[in-house]
Structure 1
């Protein structure tokens, strides 16, 4: 029996008591609902703030009938335990991402930051909505991981993630040999395949680990989140682009018991608020990350270095080796890959043929100079 199943009622009582102690929330109408939500991220992190924004949208769209009280990682349970906490009824809902569930089953990264045969996260969301990915993710959570008291949603696709922060630019694949590098999820296997000595630490510990020499290089998320975390204070070489994590799709989990209590109109509001926040998150990311990158270059002494093509090719070769290895060992993993490949064969090929190349616009208008 898990910690949460044995201690869940007591912990829920503590949570309820804490809510009463602050006394901030007004009494809800009889047909109204209030959920306790915890994410797996720090309070100032964009990955946490997307769930704060989701809560605002749901409250506004429902006229206050459904209120989500969102707390950061560690508020009630350890950050990596939020999925267990929802399933065991300790909290009502949670936010996280599939890279955190790789330790339970490696397919988690396929729904988060794996390269998806060249699909960035916004395309991966297209596969999830219209190519069978959403159904496979539900199967992953409820059947493969056996979290049967959980209703899962996919939310908030992010821009491609930079390769990371280094003491000096990576000029060749040989430079990665023995490199003490931080990354989560299946990218751990990828970097090890490329010869790195990978050390996985939570986001909040990345900067101290760099300062103490536990790691010499790291990736986290994107320009704004990296700046808030303090990475420009300890490293000045910021490398991009990268296939290590071509983007990120997050997860929103709701207790099935809480979900089943909702009337149909509130279920629809949650469903479509998730879609609205997914679009809004991507738009905000374009705005905020571009500003943060400019600030780091102009005010913080950061040098943006372009990742060599041979290194990115090596990343994809390493990804292929890792994915093939897991697919050979697990039928479900193989079925997710097959579904992604079928969708990408159409979607990636379409985008390559229909989208004009960005370098022409950059040269014509002088952007990025």
Structure 2
């Protein structure tokens, strides 16, 4: 059997060498070589142009970044010097160059807020909060804007978001500042119930700071919680026996609690340390009067309680007569009926054991006289404070 034919024949050439006859051994033409060279050149040029464009773009962005950074730094320097109007222009330029930079936008918003340009500031802050609703500083700034617009509801919301929001640095001090601003706002707007709630939360977080403790104690008095104020003032007085303000505050706390004897002692100490405290001096006298008049004090017998209740009727009637005389309202039948009832109680003389209902009737009559006097003459004289204080305690105890 013969060998199969191969696709390539080998034959010796004149020089004795083997020659291969195959089409793939043919060399490319000059035209093809020229086309390849053209492609190489084009690709090389494109690569150079791409590299050049990338370099120029990178250089442009680097220049923008540097310029924005310089404007931001200039804005910060001016803001630190209180030149917010000039700082705003630098922040605006920095933000135009780097519109996605949240730090630039935040400082722009804060400068606008300080400059009183509230609507512009609010626009930037809202954009920041859309990107990050937990931004503590942005929420605090929004709360301050709402505060300036006297929008208590919105301010309340934003202050709470700031308190519970995220702070990159100094979170504890910033949250404390937000809560302090909130309690001041509530105190100014006489929101006593919420104020007390916020103060209780604040007390749990309060750092050991004497000035803050003093401020808190005063706010507890404003919120109508003298017991909490009493505790703080006692701590301050124990820490410094020469702290006149602490003793004055302690006296006020005891005064509001109806602890007149304790209030006297605290006020006397405060006045010994600072004789110029006019409020302490006035409330010391009121405490003395209340201590001598209040039939609700513990340890009093029925006769003494009756005499005190009768004395209150006398004082309340005298004040009503003084008020009616100035108002020319003596012809009012309701007032005349009330006055007549008071005069009958004053004329009554009871000896021995006094029924409890008699004392209660006197106190109720005193309250009626006092309320009528308050309706006609709202401005109370300093001499009337003891009666008002006793009746206030009576009203609280009946609730």
Q: TM-score, normalised by structure 2?
A: 0.22
Name whichever structure is richer in helix by fraction.
2
Name whichever structure is richer in strand by fraction.
1
Does 1 or 2 have the higher relative contact order (CA < 8 Å, sep 6+)? Answer: 1
Q: Which has the larger radius of gyration?
A: 2
